[in-house]
């Protein structure tokens, strides 16, 4: 009897562990081409992708924003570099202002990076300044 209980618990635990791994792979697949969407400035496709991820995995943009890197840059930095105004302003509007003020992987905030790159005249930068 005790062996059956132990076996059942072991099977249940391993099933939960494998389902979490499978879900992480599914999220990665769902977000696979988000960098291409941002670079192409395809606002409609980005909205669809964000809606799909939110409905399937209950994740909002700020939940997965820091985990995505496009050529070593964050999504908003990629939008600024690619002059993807529509997508960049959408992301700035969807992100909490607290997240927009935190330093990114290189230790620089978005505002500091924008000043360093000379992109202060960008509409994305203007939207960022109005949100912060």
Q: Would you state the structure tokens that stand for residue 54, as one six-digit string?
A: 């939110």
78 and 19 in a common domain = no
| Of 84, 70, 69, the residue nearest 125 (C-alpha) | 84
pTM over 0.75: no
9 and 40 in a common domain = no
pLDDT over 90 at 5, yes or no: no
Give the total number of structural domains in the chain: 2
* 49-88 tens-digit pLDDT: 889 888 888 888 888 888 888 888 888 999 999 999 999 9
Neighbouring C-beta atoms of residue 72, cutoff 10 Å: 9
Q: Over pLDDT 90: what percentage of the chain?
A: 12
44 and 109 in a common domain = yes
Q: Which of 15-19, 36-40, 93-97, 127-131 has the lowest mean pLDDT?
A: 15-19
Rounded to an integer, what distance in angstroms lies between the CA atom of residue 70 and that of residue 82? Answer: 11
């Amino acid at each position: 009897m005790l062996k059956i209980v132990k076996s059942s618990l072991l099977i249940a635990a391993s099933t939960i562990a494998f389902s979490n791994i499978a879900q992480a792979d599914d999220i990665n697949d769902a977000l696979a081409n988000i960098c291409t969407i941002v670079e192409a400035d395809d606002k409609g496709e980005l909205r669809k992708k964000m809606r799909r991820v939110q409905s399937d995995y209950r994740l909002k943009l700020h939940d997965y924003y820091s985990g995505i890197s496009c050529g070593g840059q964050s999504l908003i930095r990629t939008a600024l570099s690619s002059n993807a105004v529509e997508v960049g302003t959408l992301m700035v509007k969807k992100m909490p202002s607290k997240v927009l003020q935190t330093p990114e992987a290189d230790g620089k905030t978005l505002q500091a990076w924008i000043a360093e790159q000379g992109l202060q005249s960008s509409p994305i930068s203007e939207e960022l300044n109005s949100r912060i």
